Structure 1
């Protein structure tokens, strides 16, 4: 009797325990959410200070944060900095830092961490790609544990915008000391919502939830797998099969098909991404202005926007896209193949010439673009061999070419977004004399004293009207000299599964996943 009675009393208890365990298991299953984000390029590093690739910094934002960031409209907002004050002479910035934040390795975020991070990038011996973005910093001082003072060599109007750029990430000083300047690229330690877990360089980057994240309630998923998928149609197919919850960029020609899928949401957003071809102006025949003009006349930008971009692009209206502060809108260069042939004849090339066009990317859209340009220029007698470069080739052959005189680049198709939101970073890294590779990305090896002077003066100006006029002068002079063929400004086209929210593509082509969430 006793045993029977005991059994009767414990049965409800056992049932309750089983139910509780079942609910707990179900809750764990729901919480264990991995989101796959398919992107169109491979990160070449996980060091945001040593890349000029927007998609790379989209990945590094998972685990790194800066003092500031941009919102969806490229307006600056505070992150690890709570406030700042500027001296009257515009040389000294004092920042009050957020307290109670820790890096993933347990190191406190404080003024010492800011100093260690910025001292690294401003040391020219470290040879970091972003050195020129921060080289106006002359001194970083710890005022108190949560106050830091930064002194500049000269006034620098876009300084806060530079600190809001995705490259301006705060790094654990403990990790920097442990791994050093080079190996930190493989062992990133930040304050972001996710910690770094694994990087298989051609396959994926995986990050997992940081339980000690300072923003309560975040992140809302357990892990993210960033999946480089170079082929446009494969990214689209992965959306259709549910292998990914997000894909960017999309194959423009498949937008209508994807929109018809009830499980997907397709978004077309504004962008500040300009696609262009630079000419090596130090080398024949591209040292001849008439040749550069001829190539611009020979390319039908309207047709290119339709053929390669599915209509999700417009002909470039100058070298700085609309939406960038101080962009000067100019008429798109007209299509006139007859005038192109005449200019080539006037330049001494009545039968055209042969050359090489490299594409900076291996994506389908990039390959369509360089093939379209190849076909267009063939119609005026210019015979091009084209090659889409792998990331390693791009770095070695173009970005780190040690000597301008022996650089092998001739025509180079690339894209750029001014990720600081203003004209300085749309012009200086690409068209100033100081930006010749390997320092930055002036792959045209273009040099003009008017342009250099206007850019330099605008940097130190605090007068908006003066800055607008200076940047206008620079842009007008560039279009007179034509070191580029500005092609199109594309639209950002991406898709998400309807279960996913909190992920969007910003105008500069970066990806914001701060609010990432999944509805089961």
Structure 2
């Protein structure tokens, strides 16, 4: 457990909360074709241009509007055809060729060709644009070339076996060449994809509405007439709207409200398997946090089991590594994440900051579990002589601060966007100029990551992943806290809505019974 002060703090919190496990329920009524699905979500979208965001509210919206060459399987085990029907690796493993799907049109009416794919992928990998947050994911691509109108060749600087998985990354979305005659600023508020839904209206801070793409290339889908994402910042209000019939899906309800929600006859509180990892993001470049001993002490001082029980009501598991068990590269037996206050105090005394220090944790406003987690950290790190201030900020400011390195500690979470483990490593551990901007850059981690990308033997690849996970645990550039479930409150009117293991969801097959 935590130190005595924190134990009392947790006990007080625990007495006022119900701990339970979630369950799902199905609806056996025959679904109607059509309907207007309404989401209640805590955050608004921030942009309609995929490579310029890391926010889930953006990603989950844009994946209904834009498509990629490949698509993730719902169980996260690989990819299936998307805008590409087939792909092939060259004999020298330095290029991949993709055959494009025929008779696909953008929402603007333009027919999809290789020129659009070349433009989109080159834009996604353009590191010269500071707004492009995902260029590092495509660093091994040397060039993207048109072979003919329906064929694209991707040339590599080194062999890259996982490339088809990365073509399912939302940041590799395909839009018209030259943005259809517009610029990036225009595209940030005007989407033009090939997906099953298209943007109808966006009242920023209030709601974003999608309508069915009647010219979608796959017959029979989507079923819904429209999807509306209403911004409802307060968790309790979202729950009441779901229970009252004003919303069909409560996106990411607070874990501690799941029991109340599940008591309603027409609502199920459902926990889906996920690759979601909750963590403290530490800025390794600021005074105090630039000392690995301080960071490791902070990690040892976090009682993850108590956090899971109290903050996440059992809808999570304690995290030993920054790689979720939902990914094939997850390694068991990683040390450094266990709770031991004695070791934490010993490391703090050996550090250059034995006299203590002050830090600020930045958290999103109105998110109850993040606030509670920050309070727990405040209590536990106080026993190390660390004074913690909590700063509540809106999402846009949090993202800007992270991008600019203007933070000391942030509470963040991530889900893998592709089925290959390397993506989470790049995002969370190889972060000197991309990803979460922790300022961490270790030569061994980068070397092993590069070797793993080119390693065809899965067992040897996983050995490299295990070395990376242990090194990151030793250096503690971030502090993994919990592997979380994907939580949703779902009306019984909703059929065939099931988020993917990789954290996203598709709405092509979703239906409403009424």
TM-score (structure 1 length as normaliser): 0.87
Q: Which has the higher helix share?
A: 1
Taking the aligned partners of 1:295 and 1:205, their CA distance within structure 2 comes to 40
Taking the aligned partners of 1:436 and 1:509, their CA distance within structure 2 comes to 25
* Greater relative contact order, per chain length (Cα 8 Å cut-off, separation 6+): 2
Taking the aligned partners of 1:370 and 1:156, their CA distance within structure 2 comes to 39
Residue in structure 2 matched with residue 90 of structure 1 by the alignment? 93
Residue in structure 2 matched with residue 17 of structure 1 by the alignment? none
Q: Contact conserved, 1:268 with 1:493, CA < 8 A, in 2?
A: yes
Taking the aligned partners of 1:206 and 1:120, their CA distance within structure 2 comes to 27
Q: Contact conserved, 1:315 with 1:332, CA < 8 A, in 2?
A: no
- 1:106 to partner: Cα distance: 0.9
Per the alignment, do residues 486 and 32 of structure 1 end up closer, same or farther by CA in structure 2, a change over 3 Å counting? closer
Residue in structure 2 matched with residue 289 of structure 1 by the alignment? 292
Taking the aligned partners of 2:33 and 2:509, their CA distance within structure 1 comes to 16
Residue in structure 1 matched with residue 61 of structure 2 by the alignment? 59
- 1:513 to partner: Cα distance: 1.4
Q: Which runs of 5+ in 1 are unaligned?
A: 1-29, 402-406
Residue in structure 2 matched with residue 18 of structure 1 by the alignment? none
Residue in structure 2 matched with residue 227 of structure 1 by the alignment? 230
Report the 3-state secondary structure (helix = DSSP H, G, I; strand = E; otherwise coil) of the residue aligned with 1:505. coil
Q: Contact conserved, 1:220 with 1:517, CA < 8 A, in 2?
A: yes
Structure 2 residue corresponding to 1:173, chosen from 160, 177, 180: 177
Structure 2 residue corresponding to 1:248, chosen from 225, 247, 251: 251
- 1:503 to partner: Cα distance: 2.0
Taking the aligned partners of 1:361 and 1:505, their CA distance within structure 2 comes to 25
Residue in structure 2 matched with residue 353 of structure 1 by the alignment? 357
Per the alignment, do residues 115 and 375 of structure 1 end up closer, same or farther by CA in structure 2, a change over 3 Å counting? same
Per the alignment, do residues 37 and 141 of structure 1 end up closer, same or farther by CA in structure 2, a change over 3 Å counting? same
Residue in structure 1 matched with residue 436 of structure 2 by the alignment? 441
Taking the aligned partners of 1:111 and 1:319, their CA distance within structure 2 comes to 37
Taking the aligned partners of 2:118 and 2:457, their CA distance within structure 1 comes to 30
Structure 1 residue corresponding to 2:427, chosen from 413, 429, 439: 429
- 1:343 to partner: Cα distance: 2.9
Taking the aligned partners of 1:219 and 1:55, their CA distance within structure 2 comes to 21
- 1:431 to partner: Cα distance: 1.7
Report the 3-state secondary structure (helix = DSSP H, G, I; strand = E; otherwise coil) of the residue aligned with 2:172. coil
Residue in structure 2 matched with residue 237 of structure 1 by the alignment? 240
| Runs of 4+ in structure 1 over 4 Å off | 348-351
Structure 1 residue 35 and structure 2 residue 37: aligned? yes
- 1:332 to partner: Cα distance: 6.9
Q: Contact conserved, 1:431 with 1:442, CA < 8 A, in 2?
A: no
Structure 1 residue 368 and structure 2 residue 364: aligned? no
Q: Contact conserved, 1:40 with 1:232, CA < 8 A, in 2?
A: yes
Structure 2 residue corresponding to 1:190, chosen from 190, 193, 211: 193
Per the alignment, do residues 143 and 290 of structure 1 end up closer, same or farther by CA in structure 2, a change over 3 Å counting? closer
Q: Contact conserved, 1:361 with 1:414, CA < 8 A, in 2?
A: no
**Residues paired across the two proteins, number:** 480
- 492-501 or 130-139: which moved more? 130-139
- 1:283 to partner: Cα distance: 2.5
1:321-336 counterparts in 2 under 5 A?
A: 321-329=324-332, 330=334, 333-336=337-340
Taking the aligned partners of 2:51 and 2:184, their CA distance within structure 1 comes to 10
Structure 1 residue 271 and structure 2 residue 266: aligned? no
Q: Contact conserved, 1:277 with 1:486, CA < 8 A, in 2?
A: yes
Taking the aligned partners of 1:126 and 1:285, their CA distance within structure 2 comes to 32
Residue in structure 1 matched with residue 15 of structure 2 by the alignment? none
- 1:340 to partner: Cα distance: 2.5
TM-score (structure 2 length as normaliser): 0.88
Structure 2 residue corresponding to 1:46, chosen from 48, 54, 66: 48
Between structure 1 and structure 2, the one with the greater Rg is 1
Taking the aligned partners of 1:395 and 1:255, their CA distance within structure 2 comes to 28
Residue in structure 2 matched with residue 148 of structure 1 by the alignment? 152
Taking the aligned partners of 1:116 and 1:348, their CA distance within structure 2 comes to 50
Structure 2 residue corresponding to 1:419, chosen from 414, 417, 420: 417
Over aligned residues, Cα RMSD in angstroms? 2.0
Per the alignment, do residues 246 and 155 of structure 1 end up closer, same or farther by CA in structure 2, a change over 3 Å counting? same
